[in-house]
């Protein structure tokens, strides 16, 4: 994102394999009105974007599919804002499903202030990843936007963003892998993670409560947290609707610890960097464990005779597959294929493992 925004007048923008970049830049480039092509990796061309494109077209964007209908790559040809409202002074109105990627919703919200009369977004059905929507609105407000969350209706008033100071907090999604290491490490293990906030906008702070049940206690300090290993609780059920990026980490830890965790709210995992449910099932089987579907969209981790003994982990072009399975190295040697996938969200992951005492080697 930083690289692409550094050259905002480019003719071609390559989002590579970053879904957030693809969705946010689609909206950003649409309202900029400049002709541009938005491309990515082969996997990106399998990830749907039609819902966002159709919404932007209703607002006045000229967007064409350069390949398969409903999927990237995209050709943006201009912006001709039209009033999608009943009254001239009323915000443009769109209806969008709430159970799709929250990135579509955030992308639309962020361009709301530059629309002639703002935006009114109606959400239908079950709304997933709600914390990401709240995070978007909170940051927009921090930078001068006016927006309201009325449950199934999100409103953004017109007006320019304003410069403001803001310190970016550490990433709770990245912290989840260190929680996994403490959970799997020898008894009494502890670690300090700086920069994490007790009062956070990030939905993945849910890892605190989830890992409390999987044997990791969290103590907050002004400048971060201390994680300490504790006893593991009984089997439990967890809804990942608001924190789907934690699902892989939790499944791996639960399997390794022998805790049968029931997991729901995984609907979005099939359209991530890979089909994460299928990938988890395939890789956990290498350790004698499973992720079994019991009922509609309800999966249960079924532990087996779990042993880490040199297994080779496929990562499927997915950064979170690499980092979810890497903590198993606490229990024994393993090989992670295509380790460079972590550059998408945690480029120094392997270096920080080495700082923590792990031995890594490229093959």
**285 shares a domain with 223:** yes
Final residue in a domain of this structure, among 15, 47, 82: 82
Q: From CA 329, how far away is CA 356, in angstroms rounded?
A: 12
Average pLDDT over residues 72-87: 78
**153 shares a domain with 48:** no
Determine which one of 17, 204, 242, 245 is catalytic.
245
Residue 278 is predicted with a pLDDT of: 94
Residue 167 lies in a domain: no
Q: In terms of DSSP H, where are the helices of the chain?
A: 2-5, 19-32, 50-59, 102-111, 130-142, 172-184, 207-213, 247-257, 276-285, 319-325, 349-355
**125 shares a domain with 109:** yes
Q: From CA 330, how far away is CA 300, in angstroms rounded?
A: 24
Measure the CA angle with vertex 38, ends 34 and 43; round to 5°.
170
Range of the domain at 128: 84-159
Residue 360 — pLDDT band, cuts 50, 70, 90?
confident
216-262 pLDDT, tens per residue? Answer: 999 999 989 999 999 998 899 999 988 999 999 999 999 999 999 99
Better-scored residue on pLDDT, 95 or 361? 95
pLDDT at 67 exceeding the cut of 90: yes
pLDDT at 102 exceeding the cut of 60: yes
Q: From CA 362, how far away is CA 242, in angstroms rounded?
A: 35
**68 shares a domain with 89:** no
Residue 166 lies in a domain: no
**Is residue 89 annotated as part of the catalytic site, yes or no?**
no
Final residue in a domain of this structure, among 67, 82, 97: 82
76 with 98: CB under 8 angstroms? no
Structural domains of the chain, count = 3
Average pLDDT over residues 43-54: 93
Residue 296 is predicted with a pLDDT of: 78
Residue 360 lies in a domain: no
**212 shares a domain with 153:** no
Q: From CA 193, how far away is CA 179, in angstroms rounded?
A: 10
**110 shares a domain with 72:** no
pLDDT at 363 exceeding the cut of 70: no
Residue 296: Cβ-neighbour burial (10 angstroms; 0-12, 13-18, 19+): exposed
Q: From CA 280, how far away is CA 241, in angstroms rounded?
A: 18
Residue 291 is part of a domain; what is its CATH number?
Answer: 3.65.10.10
> Rounded to the nearest 5°, which phi and psi values hold at 153?
-125, 130
- Taking the mean position of all CA atoms in its chain, how far away is CA 287? 26
Q: From CA 243, how far away is CA 200, in angstroms rounded?
A: 13
Residue 362 lies in a domain: no
Q: In terms of DSSP H, where are the helices of 83-224?
A: 102-111, 130-142, 172-184, 207-213
pLDDT at 271 exceeding the cut of 80: no
Q: How many CA atoms lie within 13 A of 164 on its CB side?
A: 13
Average pLDDT over residues 30-51: 93
Q: From CA 197, how far away is CA 224, in angstroms rounded?
A: 6
Q: From CA 61, how far away is CA 32, in angstroms rounded?
A: 10
**56 shares a domain with 43:** yes
249-267 pLDDT, tens per residue? Answer: 999 999 999 999 999 999 8
CA distances from 22 to 19, 37, 258, 314, 333 (A): 5, 11, 38, 25, 36
10-39 pLDDT, tens per residue? Answer: 999 999 988 999 999 999 999 999 899 999
154-185 pLDDT, tens per residue? Answer: 999 999 999 999 988 999 999 999 999 999 99
Final residue in a domain of this structure, among 31, 57, 82: 82
**89 shares a domain with 78:** no
| Mean pLDDT score across all residues of the chain | 93
**128 shares a domain with 270:** no
Residue 363 lies in a domain: no
Residue 82 is predicted with a pLDDT of: 66
**151 shares a domain with 129:** yes
Q: Which span out of 92-96, 200-204, 271-275 was modeled with the highest average pLDDT?
A: 92-96
Residue 31 lies in a domain: yes
CA distances from 96 to 230, 274, 283, 344 (A): 43, 24, 35, 28
**62 shares a domain with 100:** no
pLDDT at 86 exceeding the cut of 60: no
298-327 pLDDT, tens per residue? Answer: 999 999 899 999 999 999 999 999 999 999
Better-scored residue on pLDDT, 313 or 294? 313
Residue 164 lies in a domain: no
Better-scored residue on pLDDT, 268 or 260? 260
**176 shares a domain with 104:** no
Residue 280 lies in a domain: yes
Residue 87 is predicted with a pLDDT of: 61
Q: From CA 229, how far away is CA 215, in angstroms rounded?
A: 6
């Amino acid at each position: 994102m930083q690289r692409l925004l550094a050259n905002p007048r480019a003719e071609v923008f390559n989002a590579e394999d970053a879904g957030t970049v693809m969705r946010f830049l689609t909206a950003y480039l649409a309202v900029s009105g400049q002709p541009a092509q938005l491309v990515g990796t082969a996997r990106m061309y399998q990830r749907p974007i039609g819902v966002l494109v159709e919404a932007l077209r209703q607002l006045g964007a000229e967007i064409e599919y350069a390949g398969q209908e409903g999927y990237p790559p995209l050709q943006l040809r201009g912006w001709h804002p039209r009033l999608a409202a009943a009254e001239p002074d009323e915000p443009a109105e769109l209806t969008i499903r709430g159970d799709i990627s929250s990135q579509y919703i955030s992308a639309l919200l962020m361009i709301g202030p530059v629309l002639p009369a703002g935006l009114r977004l109606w959400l239908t059905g079950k709304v997933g990843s709600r914390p990401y929507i709240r995070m978007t609105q909170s940051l927009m407000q921090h930078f001068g936007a006016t927006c309201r969350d009325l449950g199934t209706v999100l409103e953004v008033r017109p007006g320019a963003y304003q410069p403001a100071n803001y310190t970016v907090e550490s990433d709770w999604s990245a912290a989840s892998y260190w929680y996994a290491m403490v959970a799997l490490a020898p008894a009494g293990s502890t670690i300090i993670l700086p920069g994490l906030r007790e009062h956070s906008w990030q939905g993945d702070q849910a890892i605190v409560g989830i890992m409390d049940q999987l044997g990791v206690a969290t103590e907050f300090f002004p400048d971060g947290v201390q994680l300490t290993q504790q006893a593991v609780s009984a089997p439990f059920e967890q809804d990942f609707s608001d924190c789907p990026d934690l699902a892989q980490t939790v499944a791996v830890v639960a399997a390794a610890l022998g805790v049968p965790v029931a997991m729901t709210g995984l609907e979005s995992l099939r359209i991530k960097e890979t089909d994460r449910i299928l990938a988890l099932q395939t890789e956990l089987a290498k350790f004698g464990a499973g992720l079994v579907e019991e009922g509609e969209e309800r999966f249960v981790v079924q532990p087996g005779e779990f042993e880490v003994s040199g297994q080779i982990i496929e990562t499927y072009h997915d950064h979170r597959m690499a980092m979810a399975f890497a903590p198993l190295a606490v229990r024994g040697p393993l090989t992670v294929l295509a380790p460079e996938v972590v550059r998408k969200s945690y480029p120094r992951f392997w270096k920080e493992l080495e700082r923590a005492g792990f031995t890594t080697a490229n093959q």
